[in-house]
Amino acid sequence: MAEAKTQSPPEVDPQTEVMTINIGPHHPATHGVLRLVVDLEGEMVRDLKPVIGYVHTGIEKSCEDKSYWKVIPFVERMDYVSYFFQMEAYCGAVERLVGLEIPPRARYLRTLFLELNRIHSHLVWLGTTALDLGAISMLWYCFRERDKILDLVEMATGQRMHTRYFQVGGVIEDIPLGFEQKLREFIADMPVRVTQYQALLDRNEIFLSRTKGTGIVSRERLLELGVTGPLLRATGEPWDLRKAFDYLAYPEMEFKIPVGTVGDNYDRYRVRLAEIVESVRIIEQALDGLPEGPHIADDRKYVLPPRSELSTSMESLIHHFKLVTEGFRVPPGEVYYSIECPRGELGCFVVADGSSKPARVHFRDPSFVNLQAFRDMAVDSYVADMIASLGMLDPILGGVDR
């Protein structure tokens, strides 16, 4: 004891000493395997470096070894929360490469499931982020509604997640009997639930003080950093690819783009909640306006023939055999197709070399790009605010690492 006292410690003030600590990769608040190397001065974050790659699985490389239609289940597993969006980005890109027009019913069904998936994604985000901020009960409420969505998805596609429902040319099956009624029950219920979430959080003193005024990044800086989606809209920039570009049935839908004002974490929360309500409106319109007709294109060079034809038509059997064994060939070219994912611009870049396998599949994942803004959000704030900002950033590490 006495000896320890004679050895004077180095002259540092514990208030100003910068300490580097590691948060993650296995930490519940990082929403996946994200590692943060954080320089702390007391409780203040002075510098921050996200380290990623812990769940890199080489999906883009694996896609180059699969025929076009076998790539679909692969890409779904990148951003595992918004799997319908990954499928749409990829299928849409391939459809543009082969020049395949999808029938109106398929456009509407895809729009419907994308919006259902957007609600699902925002519910997962709200539940887990509120959990980080101490509102534990939110997780159960959000996951209760999420389960209803998964039940609906299971009813239509047979799978709760990673459904492989979208095909090149349309969707694999029409919606089953009774689906519409169940979905109408859900969309009647969902706006009420959103008001309940708001009642739980909007007057919660702790939630408000942890989100209001924290994690602010200016609109110009976000645009420089390529940030899109609710993060950008929270600063008041009404940029939404669903409005800006024509794809699927969005031009025929009536919906608003919710925007925030200052761009703090509270605005990000409000924007996403408002987006859930807008998604419900889109689903309702898609159900009301669902056109009759085929749910998948009938170009047999790219689309599997119906099962019933296989026992009667030799032609169908040949097409089926060719599609299942070799797959279809795609003329050389490259295309970049982007859609509005729950997290921002999800782009899919496909290079075709004329064979039946893609020469390159690249995903511009919004989580990956948005993560660059995290340093700006968290530096010179408290550690607790950094956790709140990370939750509101909503990165999905499967999408970041691919």
Partner 1 sequence: MPDAPGLELIRGEIEDGHPGAVLDTGFEYEQAVLAVDPGQVLAVLTWLRDAPGQGYRFLSSLHAADYLPAEPRFAVHYELLNRDRVERIRVKALLAGPAAGNAGDAQALPEIDSCVELFPTAEFQEREVFDFFGIVFRGHPNLTRILLPEDYVGWPQRRDFPVGGEPVTFTFNERNYG
Which chain residues interact with partner 1 by CB under 8 A? 52-53, 56, 58, 60-62, 64-65, 96-97, 223-227, 239, 244-245, 333-336, 338, 345, 347, 349, 351, 359-360, 362, 364, 368-369, 371-372, 401-402
- Torsion angle, alpha carbons of 23, 24, 27, 33, to 10: 150
- The partner residues of 45 in beta bridges, in order of sequence, read 40
Residue number, 95 or 132, with CB nearest to partner 1: 95
Dihedral of alpha carbons 78, 81, 87, 93, sign: negative
Helices 104-132/136-157 angle, 10° precision: 160
C-beta of 123 vs 397, nearer to partner 1: 397
Tokens 């590490």 belong to which residue? 397
Q: Write down the least CB distance from residue 333 to partner 1, Å.
A: 6
Gap between the Cα atoms of 372 and 150, Å rounded = 31
* Nearest residue (CB) to partner 1, 92 versus 170: 92
In the bound complex, what is the minimum distance in angstroms from residue 113's beta carbon to partner 1? 24
Shortest Cβ 61–partner 1 spacing (Å): 6
Q: How far is the CB of 94 from partner 1 (least distance, A)?
A: 11
Minimum distance, C-beta of residue 220 to partner 1, in the bound complex (Å): 10
Please answer whether residues 31 and 390 qualify as being in contact, where contact means their C-beta atoms are separated by less than 8 angstroms. Answer: yes
**DSSP state letter for 306:** P
Q: Among 295, 287, 110, which residue's Cα sits nearest to residue 181?
A: 287
Nearest approach in angstroms of CB 235 to partner 1 is 14
From the list 254, 265, 292, the residue with the least C-alpha distance to 105 is 292
Least distance (Å) from partner 1 to the CB of residue 7? 37
Whether residue 399 contacts residue 364, with contact meaning beta carbons closer than 8 Å, is answered with no
Nearer Cβ to partner 1 (161/351): 351
Between 126 and 253, name the residue whose CB sits nearer to partner 1.
Answer: 253
Judged by CB, which is closer to partner 1: 268, or 364? Answer: 364
Query: What DSSP line would sit under 207-255, residue for residue?
Result: HHHHHTT-S---HHHHHHTT--THHHHTTT----HHHHS--TTGGG---
211 Cβ neighbours under 8 A, 6+ residues apart? 133, 264, 265, 266, 269, 388, 392
61/212 with CB nearer partner 1:
61
